[in-house]
């Protein structure tokens, strides 16, 4: 039996770790009350772990998943005893439960990581995608304004750029809402971060390939030309915290993720790293593009340019488009208000109206373009 070998994903992806300005974060985080949504997820839990280095007074751990939240609390109890950790088993879409959290603790910083993110699955559930990714974001953002949160960091995705999926389009609508409320908020600074796939996160290709290799294959890949940008979990969350410290409000920050990686190349390298030979010990099987997927992700739309910042790994997405913020808020609120009465086709049509660059790769929705 072949012994499984471990490898360093940072070296495999050839992506250097971030240069980190810790003084800014110390000033922003130390002694503060912080709320993290999606706290039990891959990104949320890593954000919490990194925040503990800067000794906030308390961290409010908000998640709807019971066992992952319980496991996170057990894990964090063994790391430190200084920061107070307060778990909340709460759905961000339930304003009646979210409001008392803000009222009781008055958080100064919010990291909003909660989201539905599985691209093919959400193609069949646009209502649920909008409910969680847009309505949930709206509720948390509105509460941040009402309770004078100083910094609100929204974690988005490169799939929101020229979206081809329900997931990407829902995140773009949430971005629009965040940008609009930033313009009308006098106390709160809203910042958006975008980055690609986090290797090793829940549901990502890394763990899937690892499981397939472990049982002898086949490793399933959608298309020979499929490419994705990848980051390590540690690096992505470092840059999230850095963006929150350096942002002034209204920015969309895109992380420098290096060159895109061909999924086939990644699979072959992982097979070799396991001490096996591609196609001999572990077969590769082509299964075709899934609904909502595109071959390559974009970093900008035709209206955007990437501008350098003071951090070498963080770019500012500067847009030539000017939205009427009050109108955009009204449009999104109207969409959400009437969401439950709409059929799937009507929901997707409205998403395409709100995000004109949304070109569906799902045959069931493509005729609505």
The 10s digit of each residue's pLDDT in 83-120 is: 999 999 999 999 999 999 999 999 999 999 999 999 99
Per-residue confidence (pLDDT) for residue 199, from 0 to 100: 79
Calculate the alpha carbon distances from 4 to 7, 14, 24, 107 in Å. 10, 22, 41, 45
In a domain, 265, yes or no: no
Q: Would you say 10 and 235 are in contact if contact means Cβ atoms under 8 Å apart?
A: yes
Cα-based torsion angle of the residue sequence 56, 241, 37, 337 in order, rounded to the nearest 10 degrees? 130
Q: How large is the average pLDDT for residues 155-169?
A: 96
Q: How large is the average pLDDT for residues 107-136?
A: 97
Residue 9 has pLDDT above 80, yes or no: no
Confidence of residue 1 (pLDDT cuts 50, 70, 90): very low
* Positive or negative: CA dihedral 197, 200, 202, 203: positive
Residue 152 has pLDDT above 90, yes or no: yes
Q: Which residues, listed in sequence order, are joined to residue 58 by a DSSP beta bridge?
A: 33, 84
144: burial class by Cβ within 10 Å (0-12, 13-18, 19+)? buried
In a domain, 272, yes or no: no
Q: Which residues are part of the catalytic machinery? A: 159
The 10s digit of each residue's pLDDT in 233-255 is: 999 999 999 999 999 999 999 99
> How far is Cα 244 from Cα 27, in angstroms, rounded to an integer?
12
216: burial class by Cβ within 10 Å (0-12, 13-18, 19+)? exposed
> How far is Cα 45 from Cα 69, in angstroms, rounded to an integer?
9
3-state secondary structure at position 230: strand
CA gyration radius for the chain?
Answer: 20
In a domain, 266, yes or no: no
- CATH number for the domain spanning 119: value is 3.40.50.720
Q: How large is the average pLDDT for residues 282-299?
A: 89
> How far is Cα 166 from Cα 118, in angstroms, rounded to an integer?
10
- Domain of residue 78 covers 22-198+229-258+322-366
Alpha helices, DSSP H, located in 30-184: 42-51, 66-77, 95-105, 119-122, 126-130, 136-146, 166-184
Sequence-ordered list of residues with C-beta below 8 angstroms from that of 221, at least 6 positions apart, any chain: 263, 264, 267, 284, 285, 286, 287
Count of domains for the chain:
1
In a domain, 304, yes or no: no
| Cis preceding-peptide flag for 257 (omega within 30 of 0) | no
Per-residue confidence (pLDDT) for residue 19, from 0 to 100: 53
In a domain, 88, yes or no: yes
In a domain, 7, yes or no: no
Look at 199 and 249; give whichever has higher pLDDT: 249
In a domain, 223, yes or no: no
With a pLDDT cut of 90, the percent of the chain lying above it is: 68
Look at 292 and 156; give whichever has higher pLDDT: 156
In a domain, 342, yes or no: yes
Structure tokens at 265: 């190349």
Structure tokens at 294: 């595109």
Per-residue confidence (pLDDT) for residue 8, from 0 to 100: 47
């Amino acid at each position: 039996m072949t012994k499984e070998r471990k490898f360093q994903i940072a070296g495999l992806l050839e992506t250097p770790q971030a240069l980190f300005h810790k003084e800014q974060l110390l000033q922003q985080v130390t002694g503060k009350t912080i709320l993290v949504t999606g706290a039990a997820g891959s990104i949320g839990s890593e954000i919490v772990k990194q925040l503990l280095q800067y000794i906030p007074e308390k961290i409010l751990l908000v998640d709807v998943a019971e066992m992952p939240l319980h496991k996170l609390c057990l894990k964090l109890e063994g790391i430190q005893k200084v920061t107070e950790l307060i778990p909340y088993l709460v759905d961000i879409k339930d304003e009646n439960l979210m409001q008392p959290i803000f009222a009781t603790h008055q958080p100064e910083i919010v990291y909003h990581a909660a989201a539905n993110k599985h691209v093919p699955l959400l193609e069949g559930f646009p209502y649920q995608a909008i409910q969680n990714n847009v309505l949930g974001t709206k509720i948390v953002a509105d509460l941040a304004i009402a309770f004078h949160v100083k910094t609100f960091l929204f974690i988005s995705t490169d799939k929101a750029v020229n979206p081809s999926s329900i997931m990407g389009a829902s995140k773009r609508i949430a971005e629009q809402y965040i940008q609009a409320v930033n313009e009308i908020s006098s106390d709160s600074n809203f910042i958006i971060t975008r980055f690609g796939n986090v290797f090793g996160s829940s549901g990502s290709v890394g763990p899937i390939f690892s499981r397939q290799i472990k049982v002898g294959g086949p490793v399933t890949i959608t298309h020979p030309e499929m490419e994705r940008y990848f980051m390590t979990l540690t690096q992505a969350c470092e840059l999230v915290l850095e963006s929150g410290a350096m942002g002034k409000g209204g920015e969309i920050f895109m992380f420098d993720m290096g060159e895109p990686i061909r999924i086939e190349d990644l699979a072959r390298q992982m097979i070799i790293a396991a001490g096996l030979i591609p196609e001999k010990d572990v077969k590769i099987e082509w299964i075709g593009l899934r609904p909502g997927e595109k071959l390559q992700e974009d970093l900008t739309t035709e209206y955007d340019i990437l501008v350098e910042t003071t951090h070498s790994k963080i770019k500012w997405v500067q847009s030539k488009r000017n939205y009427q913020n009050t109108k955009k808020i009204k449009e999104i609120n109207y969409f959400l208000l009437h969401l439950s009465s709409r059929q799937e086709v009507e929901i997707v049509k409205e998403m395409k109206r709100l995000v004109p660059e949304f070109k569906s790769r799902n045959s069931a929705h493509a005729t609505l373009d």
